[in-house]
Amino acid sequence: MALTVIFMASLTFVSCTKEGPAGLPGANGKDGEDGINGQDGTAGCIECHDNSQGLFAKTIQWENSTHAIGGNFERNTGDCATCHTSQGFLGYNVTGTYDPEAEGAAISNPNPPNCYTCHKVHDTYTPADWELTVTGAVALNNSTQTPDYGRGSQCASCHQGRPVNPFPAVGGDDITISGIRYGVHHGPQANVIKGTGLFEPGTGYTTHPHANIENTCVTCHMAEAYGTQAGGHTMYLEYDYHGSTVLNTAGCVSCHSDIEGMLANTEELQAEVAAMLAELKAMLDAMGAMNEGSDNSVSGTYAPEVAGAVLNYKALSEDRSLGVHNPSYVKKVLQNTMEAIQQ
């Protein structure tokens, strides 16, 4: 009986849901409004990656720079990593995420300084991405000064002396030198340009107009490039022309109208500073504070004037401009330093 009821109910359901014949066609519906066109996915890219080949030129210049091929970015731990690796530089100077003093602090897969180190690449996908990652005043080691180098502050944040503690003071306590590497390390250019952070016995220190060049390092070292040999993102100042070494003067012409005269004065200055450095080195070798035939310091305890002389010799040798960065300051430092250790 129950089965019969279920069967009859099923027939009734099927009968009720059976479709009848189709009705007459209805009126067409109203057309919808057109949507907004989507943005070209490459529109932002083209703002920088255009067909001018300018980005390619900068890339191949960088590929020939010391930043790219100079090595040392394998030094990926501690203070070394903050300048020798791109990740360490950004983590220490920009984001504050890298602590060089942390135990085992090492950069994985270190990169040399590159586009991402200096520029805010792919932050906005507009030309604003070429803005620098470091701007404004730079707190210099071994100095109370915080100069603003303009666009050169990007460079100065690394190209300055490494901290020396205790720093020798004129007439102060003796200094104990431990090891061959005593000094401000290999990149004190920012100190030399502004005339600060070196050992300064005596008086009479002045700074040259080079200290006030707008954008400092960038104006001279990144002037119009000569291929991949000098200027631009190579940052070199000299190039080879048919076997002769030529100074790239593209960054000089805005201040120096007489380029030939400037080149002659530069050659004379560099010869004078080289001779003064050689004289100071001979004095330090004779005193036993440095090793003859190398730039290594000799461990021992020295009067602050002697330790300061070692520091100054290394700093001005490592500056590598032979006085060009700050002629009057460099010559006075060397003169006063030699007089101080002869007393």
Q: What is the pLDDT of residues 112-155, one digit of tens each?
A: 999 999 999 999 999 999 999 999 999 999 999 999 999 999 99
Better-predicted residue by pLDDT, 19 or 164: 164
| Alpha carbon distance 205, 82 (integer Å) | 32
pLDDT class of 333 with cuts at 50, 70, 90: very high
Mean pLDDT of the region 45-73: 93
- For the chain, the farthest-separated pair of C-alpha atoms sits apart, in whole angstroms, at 130
Residue 13: the pLDDT is 47
Q: How far apart are the first and last CA of the chain?
A: 130
Is it the case that residue 316 has pLDDT exceeding 90?
Answer: yes
Residue 103 has pLDDT above 90, yes or no: no
Map residue 61 onto helix, strand or coil: helix
Give the model's confidence band at 7: pLDDT under 50 very low, under 70 low, under 90 confident, else very high.
very low
For range 3-26, the mean pLDDT: 60
Gap between the Cα atoms of 116 and 133, Å rounded? 9
The mean of the pLDDT values for the chain is: 92
Query: pLDDT digits over 205-227, tens only?
Result: 999 999 999 999 999 999 999 99
Cα separation of 193 and 325, whole Å? 5
Per the listing, tokens 């900068």 go with 58
What pLDDT, on the 0 to 100 scale, is given for residue 271?
A: 98
Contacts of 256 (CB under 8 A, 6+ apart): 249, 262
Q: Which of 29-38, 86-95, 226-235 has the lowest mean pLDDT?
A: 29-38
Provide the β-strand partners of residue 55. Answer: none
Helix (H) or strand (E) holding 49: none
Task: State residue 190's pLDDT score.
Answer: 98
Q: Identify the pLDDT of residue 22.
A: 81
Confidence of residue 165 (pLDDT cuts 50, 70, 90): very high
**Residue 49, amino acid:** H
- Residue 177 sits at φ, ψ, to 5 deg, of -95, 125
Whole-number Å distance between alpha carbons of 304 and 182: 13
Closest by alpha carbon to 153, among 190, 187, 194, 120?
190
Residue 4 has pLDDT above 90, yes or no: no
Mean pLDDT, rounded, for 231-258: 96
Whether 160 shows a pLDDT value over 70: the answer reads yes
* Strand 300-302 with 238-241, pairing: unpaired
State mean pLDDT over 77-90: 95
- The predicted pLDDT at position 17 comes to 55
Among the listed residues 238, 220, 219, 221, the one whose alpha carbon sits nearest the alpha carbon of residue 229: 238
With cut-offs at 50, 70 and 90, classify the pLDDT of residue 46. Answer: confident
What pLDDT score was predicted for residue 18?
66
Q: What is the DSSP letter of 90?
A: I
pLDDT of residue 16: 53
